[in-house]
Amino acid sequence: MRTAGHDSAPSRSPDPAALAAAVRAAARAAGYEACGITTAEPFPEYAAAVDALGRAFPRTAPLYAPFRDRTDPRRGAPWAQALVVAVRRYSKYRLPPGPAGHIGRNYLCDRRLPACPDHAMTARLTAALRALGLRVKRGSGTSDRWAAARAGVARLGLNTFALTPASGSWINIECWRVNAALPPDPPTLDPPCPPGCRRCIEACPTGALRAPRVLRMDRCVAWLTYHAPWPVAPSLWRRMGPWIYGCDACQDACPLNRGVWTESEPAPWLEAVAALLRPEALAELTDADYRRKIHPLFWYIPEDGVERWRANARRALAYAAARGRGKPTTDGA
């Protein structure tokens, strides 16, 4: 007997390999460069790396403590059996020259911006996974970069970034926990970097990269520009150079990033405000322009943070002026 709206025929569980193939196809259809699968088991290697950082830099241990709680994907999703890991590349965008070398490319190409063409990718893949009958929770519950390496879609570089052969480190990793035991892909845990390469370490302006895969967070320019307590220590402030928000120094120095930025697509959401993203404009930014034009691009920074934008921009201008005079830029610029 059938009840209205229901089929009495017994349902058959899909073949795990076929389901995994359907997941990868859905990721490609949503616009992702690559998609891999790993188990939802804990990440002991990541836990060990976090613990080692806390021991190496005791004063910064509180910064690493939240990461220590993010080593088990099943925390918050005890039903999860696999992680779906997708790679989004943003090296395709043609960025305006104003913010180049002053604002990190990752922040300029944030796919969460409604005007970014990649904005709907996450929602598309989430819907597709659910359409395949999967229970889904967004996020890996652990380090997305480590998840990508274990899922075989990226490798962890010595600068701690995840890299792919096609796009280098100019990528975002997005993850979903699902309730199916999908067959995992072979991991790619070994670093892709050339033997003996130290270019990222040598390029780090504040010495935050202490050794391969060892990053002292409280010295990283990306953290110092907006998350560090204000004011920043003068010894670090002078070394932050041209960076107003974020920092790409170690990525720019990486030989694996050569030739991967294609600039094949426009970035119209930036072109409209490119003039205001120059250091000269940001140094004199009015409160009104910040609220109406800049803050919507960086909405996660407090709206009352305009003075920090100005201060960072003034430092970037002083750095440029010092370089123009041939003055050493690590002391006084």
Res 325: pLDDT: 73
Helices (H), the chain: 16-30, 44-56, 61-68, 105-108, 121-131, 144-150, 199-203, 221-224, 234-237, 249-253, 268-271, 279-283, 287-289, 306-324
Q: Is the pLDDT of residue 327 over 80?
A: no
pLDDT given for residue 11 in this prediction: 44
Q: How far apart, in Å, are the Cα atoms of 242 and each of 97, 225, 264?
A: 14, 11, 26
pLDDT bin (cut points 50, 70, 90) of residue 128 is very high
pLDDT of 326:
64
**Does the pLDDT of residue 108 top 60, yes or no?**
yes
- Window from 3-7, 31-35, 54-58, 255-259 with minimum mean pLDDT: 3-7
Q: Per-residue pLDDT for 80 more than 70?
A: yes
pLDDT for 17 beyond 90: yes
Residue 10 has pLDDT above 80, yes or no: no
Q: What percent of the chain has pLDDT over 70?
A: 94
- Hey, where are the domains in the chain? 16-96+109-178, 199-324
Which pLDDT score, from 0 to 100, does residue 191 have? 94
Taking each helix axis as running N to C, give the angle between helix 44-56 and helix 61-68, from 0 to 180 degrees, rounded to the nearest 10. Answer: 170
8 A C-beta contact, residue 295 and residue 301: yes
Calculate mean pLDDT across residues 41-58: 95
Question: Average pLDDT of the chain?
Answer: 93
Inter-residue contact 176 to 121 (CB < 8 Å):
no
| pLDDT confidence band for 297 (50 / 70 / 90) | very high
- Is pLDDT above 50 for 5? no
Contact 332, 238 (CB under 8 A): yes
CA 71/CA 105 separation, integer angstroms: 28
Owner of token pair 């229970």: 135
Q: What is the mean pLDDT of residues 145-154?
A: 98
Is residue 296 pLDDT above 60, yes or no?
yes
- pTM to 2 decimals? 0.92
Q: Where are the alpha helices (DSSP H) in 190-267?
A: 199-203, 221-224, 234-237, 249-253
Look at residue 9 and tell me whether its pLDDT is greater than 90. no
